[in-house]
Amino acid sequence: MKKYIAKRLAIAVIVMLGASLLSFLLLYFAPGNPAHAILTAQLGHDPSLEEVAFFMMKHDLNNPFLVQCSQWLYMITHLNLGTSFRTGEPVLMEFLDRFPATFELAFTSMLIALLIAIPVGILSALKQNSILDHSSRLVALCGVSMPNFWLGLVLIMFFSLKLGWFPCFGYGTASHLVLPAITLGTGLAAPLMRLMRASMLEVLRQDYIRTARSKGLSEHLVMWKHGLKNALIPVITHMGMQTGHLLGGAVIVETIFAWPGVGKFLVDGIYARDYPVIQGFVLVIALFFVLSNLAVDILYTYLDPRIRYDVENKK
C-alpha cells in the first residue's frame, strides 16, 4: 500500500508539471500581451511603448519560449511559484489567501450534495417506480438542467432580497456560506443521486442479496449491511472527481456571490495574462486532483476487500 501511494505521488509530480506546462504553452501562443493587459489595468490608460518594453524586460518576457520554460522549471523545483504580475505578491501567498474560502465552499457543498443524494438515491431504488422515485427523477433533471448562475440569482432574489434571511454576497460568517453552498450542492447532488439509485438497483439484483434474504434478514439489514457498501463504490468515484473540480474553485458561483476563492482569481489572471498566477494555480489544482483521486483509490480498499494495490508484495 505504501509503495502504491509513493508511486502515485511520483506520477502526481509529472501530472502537475505537464498540466502547468500545457497551460503556459496555450497562453504563450494565444494572442494578447501580458504587459499591455496588466499595464492598462494598472494605469487606467493605454501604456506607452517604453512602459511595455520595460515591463517585458523586468519580467523576462522577451526570452525565447524554451528559456522561459526552463526558468519556470528552475523556479518550481526550488519551491518558488514566482510573483504575480498584477499584484506583485508571491503566487503561493495569493493562493493560500484564497484557498480556505474555496475549501470551505467545496466541503460544504459536497456535504449538502451527499446528504441529499445518498438517502434520496437509496429510497428511490427501494421504492422503484413509486411517486417518490418519479418526483426525485424530475427534481434531479431540474438540478442538472439549471445553470449555476441562474439558480444563484434566484436564491439571492428570494432568500436575501425578498425574505432577507441570508446576505446576498460576501464571505465570513456561516450565513454567508448558505446560498453559495446550496447553489453548488444541488447541482452536484443531481447526478450523484441518479448514480446512487442506479448502483443500488444493480446491487439489489445480485445473488448475494437473495442469499441475505433467504437467511431471514429484514429488508433494513439487507439494505444497510449487504447493499450499501457495494453500491457506494461508483458513487465514491464520481464524488472524488467532483471534489477535485471543486477545489479548483467554482468561478461562476464565486463571481455571483463575490466569494473570495481560488477560481475567480485564476480566471482574472487568465484575462490579464498573469503567467505566474496561471501556472502556479494550475500546478496546485492539479495536485488536488491527483490527491482526491488517490484518496478515492485508498477508500476503495476499505469498501471492497477484493481491491488491493500491493498484491505483488503479498507473498
Partner 1 sequence: MTLLSIENLNAHFHTEDGAVRAVNGIDLNIEEGEKLGLIGETGCGKTVLGLAILRLLSENTKIEGKILYKGKNLLTMSDNEIRKIRGKEIAMIFQNPLSSMNPVLTVGTQVAEPVELHQHLKKQDAMRRVIEMLKSVKIPLPQERVKEYPHEFSGGMRQRAMIAMGLICMPSLIIADEPTTGLDVTIQAQIVELMKEVLRDSGTSMLLITHDLAVASELCDNIAVMYPGEIVEYGSVRDLFKDPKHPYTRGFLNSLPSKGFKPITGTSPSLINLPKGCKFHPRCSLATDKCKIKRPELIKVGKKHYVRCFLYD
List of residues contacting partner 1 (CB under 8 A):
206-208, 210-218, 225-226, 229-230, 303-306
Q: Quick count: other Cβ atoms within 10 Å of Cβ 95?
A: 20
DSSP state of 212: H
Determine the Cα angle at 39 with ends 38 and 42, to 5°. Answer: 90
Joined grid coordinates for residue 311: 498484491
| Residue closer to partner 1 (CB basis): 102 or 124 | 124
| Residue closer to partner 1 (CB basis): 56 or 236 | 236
DSSP per position, 256-275: HTT---HHHHHHHHHHTT-H
Determine the Cα angle at 101 with ends 96 and 106, to 5°. Answer: 115
| Residue closer to partner 1 (CB basis): 1 or 111 | 1
Least Å distance, CB 264 to partner 1, is 42
Least Å distance, CB 28 to partner 1, is 50
| Residue closer to partner 1 (CB basis): 36 or 213 | 213
CB of 191 closer than 8 Å to CB of 144? yes
Rounded to whole angstroms, how far apart are CA atoms 20 and 34?
18
Least Å distance, CB 207 to partner 1, is 4
| Residue closer to partner 1 (CB basis): 58 or 225 | 225
Least Å distance, CB 134 to partner 1, is 18
Least Å distance, CB 312 to partner 1, is 17
Rounded to whole angstroms, how far apart are CA atoms 14 and 290?
11
